[in-house]
A and B are shown apart, each in its own frame.
Chain A
């Protein structure tokens, strides 16, 4: 009897001491998605998580916490306990929060569980735009200053980074029309409200195949198997190679300080989940490149991404603070 009581007390204490790998997950895990329902981050997070749930043997309840360019969701996870019961599904934006003065936290306050996949940027134009290739586009812009309308999604978004890349090599004088996301901007492109849009490949594939948009160039060193006929920017303008490959990404994160064995369990589950054929098919169909990075590889990816991007947009004059202020080294 006495032994039984001691055992029970010990078990209770262990339970209170936090989640351990044996018991984790002992309750529902909260999954916080930084971006809205139906978007890329949301789709990828919801597609991979059920496979990870099976491997974890627990359930992850997904919730979209949007606003503040994703900062609201990120802060929610950062404010929760570091016990692995609140998981963040985020995109690349937090790595720019500091230089954009959008928040004082970024992924350095988190442990990456899995950097799932990366998107490939592509430059698309409305189907009847008077140019077909990148050099033709530049020539047209130079001949008609301010006449060409580029879609944009606010400083730090993919369009602003791609535009900064273009400006760093060939300054262009165009009109930037702001949209709240690449979805609405690509819709506007199809309605000829704008002429050119730097977008993520996956968001444009179907419309390109349907002839509703014209691909100008893939912003990568290698072409996309989904669109074999579209040239890369490097094939016409090799000077861009030094900044590429670059792309937005999606990942799963937990707060720094989460017990190592809990992190290990999540890392294992998500690494395995990304191998599921349904998920790899989804990643392919949406034009993403699977990364499935964890541990040091993930950390290195994040550090390099932050360094390249923050300095690029800083030099384009889009930041509110210098990356140097936060100890971000210049590439």
Chain B
């Protein structure tokens, strides 16, 4: 009964309902604009909602969070500039769809599967929160490292024609990610003694440059060909289409929820691992991955929205943030006089159910706002290139500046834009670079933690890995996936078939 009351709070209070709606709406645009992040918006809101009651403040933040994670897909599909790191995988197949005149269809399916993913994350939060947080917190450094290795194997499916070029690009990304002050030892790496490099290379700036600017430069080759006419007859996907992708969506939502619940990883890594999962389990995609496969949209978009509910799991059960946004929300709860921690659910269960309810509403609003106005959005891609290209350039510059109010980031962005253009010209895939940058810290930090924990003894580390069921499963997955991608596997497989 108490639970029901708490669940009804945001639904019956018109003001809270309106705040969630406003937050979700604003979140979609914050998410869509590259460089503006949900993390940034929520931390600004802490000051803005300082004098408010805690429920309205949270209602607005939750709306922005849910809307923002979804909004990142918009610019990824329309302009090949992911609005947020979590939408990188979405650009891989979403943008090719837009180039084929199917931007409306892509946004439609992304909206629906984001809703499904979000909903599954919320159910997991409501039903399995204590169970999942116990599981998530048991992840040891070696497990995070293995998860990172699992992610880096994605290079295989992002490489296109040449695996060698893909590995080169991925290694470049890992290298880029290690620039700056090492957060574990405070030692400078690849900074050449300059102040500007100490904070590292902003990877959002790299992302905007590599995706946005390089694409803009590529389009200069075809600046006089008319833009692709967009088909906007069918936007809301048919039930048959949703049902076809539902099994994959459920799997990737589970991946998203768990990775979201892990304190060391968030929606960006969830989306990439889900994409990799999709490339492996989809036997015969109608369109190949990277050329506009629907599966390539379903997987990352269900996963990153499922990660929202997942991220709240350790936050509400233990006071441990599941990602950067929930870390700020914990700060907000403190400021509003609450004490997030293991006692919160016992002492104030109403807060838990309020958040579950607010997330559900934000998810519904996301679906409504997401499906309206698509036709107008799609027109962006139909703009003549002479108009569109300057817009891309402007958006990229503003976005790169907004990341840290720093001109250095703009230079990085432009530099990597030009670099990315030449990589594209010579057939080097860009996806692995971004993948490498994202996973660099996860791999590097956790490898060092793992080997230091075992007294720098590789044998002890291996024994520990084989003794823990969780590590063993991850280790086996890494080995199997790796073998599955080598020619040896094909040889054995073909022999059996023959």
Residues of A within 8 A of B (CB): 36-39, 42-43, 46-47, 49-50, 62-69, 71-72, 75, 100, 102, 146, 149, 154-156, 175-181, 183-184, 186-188, 190-194, 205-207, 209-212, 278, 281-282, 285-286
The complex places the Cα of A138 from the Cα of B5 at a distance, in Å, of: 51
Q: Which residues of A contact B264 (CB under 8 A)?
A: 184
List 4 extra interface pairs beyond A42-B43, A183-B320, A206-B319, CB under 8 A. A64-B43, A75-B195, A154-B183, A180-B184
The answer to the question of B212 belonging to the interface, with a C-beta cut-off of 8 Å to chain A, is no
Given that A191-B137, A212-B342 are contacting pairs, would A180 and B186 also be in contact in the complex, using a CB cutoff of 8 Å?
A: no
Given that A175-B453, A178-B449, A207-B342 are contacting pairs, would A37 and B43 also be in contact in the complex, using a CB cutoff of 8 Å?
A: yes
Contact assessment for A100 and B184 in the assembled complex, using a CB-CB cutoff below 8 Å? no
The complex places the Cα of A39 from the Cα of B328 at a distance, in Å, of: 8
Contact assessment for B334 and A43 in the assembled complex, using a CB-CB cutoff below 8 Å? yes
Contact assessment for B335 and A178 in the assembled complex, using a CB-CB cutoff below 8 Å? no
Within 8 A of A (CB), among B310-354: 314, 318-321, 324, 327-331, 334-335, 337, 339-344
The minimal Cβ–Cβ distance linking B190 to chain A, given in whole angstroms, is: 14
The answer to the question of B181 belonging to the interface, with a C-beta cut-off of 8 Å to chain A, is yes
Tally the A-B contacts, defined by beta carbons under 8 Å. 148
The answer to the question of B189 belonging to the interface, with a C-beta cut-off of 8 Å to chain A, is no
Contact assessment for B449 and A179 in the assembled complex, using a CB-CB cutoff below 8 Å? yes
Given that A154-B186, A191-B138 are contacting pairs, would A46 and B335 also be in contact in the complex, using a CB cutoff of 8 Å?
A: yes
Contact assessment for B186 and A207 in the assembled complex, using a CB-CB cutoff below 8 Å? no
16 residue pairs A–B, Cβ–Cβ below 8 Å: A37-B39, A39-B327, A43-B331, A47-B334, A68-B195, A68-B199, A72-B195, A102-B186, A154-B184, A156-B186, A175-B455, A181-B183, A191-B139, A192-B138, A207-B318, A209-B343
Contact assessment for B199 and A66 in the assembled complex, using a CB-CB cutoff below 8 Å? yes
The answer to the question of B263 belonging to the interface, with a C-beta cut-off of 8 Å to chain A, is yes
Q: Which of B186, B328, B337 contacts A38 (CB 8 A)?
A: B328
- Chain A: which residue is nearest B321 at the CB level? A38
Contact assessment for B321 and A183 in the assembled complex, using a CB-CB cutoff below 8 Å? yes
Within 8 A of A (CB), among B119-162: 137-141
The minimal Cβ–Cβ distance linking A145 to chain B, given in whole angstroms, is: 10
Contact assessment for B140 and A285 in the assembled complex, using a CB-CB cutoff below 8 Å? no
The answer to the question of B229 belonging to the interface, with a C-beta cut-off of 8 Å to chain A, is no
Contact assessment for B186 and A177 in the assembled complex, using a CB-CB cutoff below 8 Å? no
The answer to the question of B448 belonging to the interface, with a C-beta cut-off of 8 Å to chain A, is yes
Contact assessment for A281 and B186 in the assembled complex, using a CB-CB cutoff below 8 Å? no
Q: Which of B140, B186, B331, B445 has the most CB of A within 10 A?
A: B186
Contact assessment for B343 and A206 in the assembled complex, using a CB-CB cutoff below 8 Å? yes
The answer to the question of B200 belonging to the interface, with a C-beta cut-off of 8 Å to chain A, is yes
The complex places the Cα of A104 from the Cα of B419 at a distance, in Å, of: 34
The answer to the question of B58 belonging to the interface, with a C-beta cut-off of 8 Å to chain A, is no
Contact assessment for A69 and B331 in the assembled complex, using a CB-CB cutoff below 8 Å? no
Given that A38-B328, A149-B453, A207-B318 are contacting pairs, would A71 and B198 also be in contact in the complex, using a CB cutoff of 8 Å?
A: yes
Nearest 7 interchain pairs by C-beta: A206-B341, A210-B342, A67-B199, A38-B327, A178-B184, A180-B183, A37-B43
Q: Which residues of A contact B321 (CB under 8 A)?
A: 38, 183
- Chain A: which residue is nearest B448 at the CB level? A178
The complex places the Cα of A286 from the Cα of B184 at a distance, in Å, of: 25
Contact assessment for A50 and B341 in the assembled complex, using a CB-CB cutoff below 8 Å? no
Q: Which residues of B contact A187 (CB under 8 A)?
A: 137, 263, 314, 320
Contact assessment for B404 and A65 in the assembled complex, using a CB-CB cutoff below 8 Å? yes
Tell which of B45-53, B87-95, B96-104, B217-225 binds the partner. Answer: B45-53
Contact assessment for B331 and A190 in the assembled complex, using a CB-CB cutoff below 8 Å? no
- Chain A: which residue is nearest B335 at the CB level? A47
Contact assessment for A37 and B141 in the assembled complex, using a CB-CB cutoff below 8 Å? no
The complex places the Cα of A179 from the Cα of B259 at a distance, in Å, of: 20
The complex places the Cα of A117 from the Cα of B314 at a distance, in Å, of: 28
The complex places the Cα of A63 from the Cα of B405 at a distance, in Å, of: 10
Q: Which residues of B contact A72 (CB under 8 A)?
A: 195, 198-199
Q: Which residues of A contact B318 (CB under 8 A)?
A: 190, 207, 210, 212
Q: Which residues of A contact B140 (CB under 8 A)?
A: 191, 193
Contact assessment for B342 and A211 in the assembled complex, using a CB-CB cutoff below 8 Å? yes
Q: Which residues of B contact A205 (CB under 8 A)?
A: 339, 341
User: Size range of the interface on B?
Assistant: 35 or more
Q: Which residues of A contact B47 (CB under 8 A)?
A: 46, 49-50, 62
The complex places the Cα of A66 from the Cα of B314 at a distance, in Å, of: 25
Q: Which of A38, A100, A184, A192 contacts B331 (CB 8 A)?
A: A38
Contact assessment for A37 and B452 in the assembled complex, using a CB-CB cutoff below 8 Å? no
The answer to the question of B185 belonging to the interface, with a C-beta cut-off of 8 Å to chain A, is yes
Within 8 A of A (CB), among B34-72: 39, 42-44, 46-47, 50-51
Contact assessment for B334 and A37 in the assembled complex, using a CB-CB cutoff below 8 Å? no
The complex places the Cα of A145 from the Cα of B50 at a distance, in Å, of: 49
Q: Which residues of B contact A155 (CB under 8 A)?
A: 185-186
Contact assessment for B51 and A206 in the assembled complex, using a CB-CB cutoff below 8 Å? no
The minimal Cβ–Cβ distance linking A202 to chain B, given in whole angstroms, is: 9
Contact assessment for B334 and A285 in the assembled complex, using a CB-CB cutoff below 8 Å? yes
Within 8 A of A (CB), among B167-184: 180-181, 183-184
The complex places the Cα of A210 from the Cα of B343 at a distance, in Å, of: 6
The complex places the Cα of A192 from the Cα of B142 at a distance, in Å, of: 13
- Chain B: which residue is nearest A146 at the CB level? B455
Contact assessment for A285 and B453 in the assembled complex, using a CB-CB cutoff below 8 Å? no
Within 8 A of A (CB), among B277-335: 314, 318-321, 324, 327-331, 334-335
The complex places the Cα of A64 from the Cα of B329 at a distance, in Å, of: 15
Q: Which residues of A contact B445 (CB under 8 A)?
A: 178, 180
The complex places the Cα of A137 from the Cα of B476 at a distance, in Å, of: 37
Contact assessment for A50 and B342 in the assembled complex, using a CB-CB cutoff below 8 Å? no
Q: Which of A37, A72, A177 has the most CB of B within 10 A?
A: A37
Contact assessment for A37 and B331 in the assembled complex, using a CB-CB cutoff below 8 Å? yes
Q: Which residues of B contact A156 (CB under 8 A)?
A: 186
Q: Which residues of A contact B183 (CB under 8 A)?
A: 154, 180-181
- Chain A: which residue is nearest B191 at the CB level? A68
The minimal Cβ–Cβ distance linking A175 to chain B, given in whole angstroms, is: 6
Q: Which of A71, A75, A188, A281 has the most CB of B within 10 A?
A: A188
Contact assessment for A177 and B453 in the assembled complex, using a CB-CB cutoff below 8 Å? yes
The complex places the Cα of A179 from the Cα of B343 at a distance, in Å, of: 25
The complex places the Cα of A206 from the Cα of B344 at a distance, in Å, of: 9
The minimal Cβ–Cβ distance linking A149 to chain B, given in whole angstroms, is: 6
Contact assessment for A38 and B330 in the assembled complex, using a CB-CB cutoff below 8 Å? yes
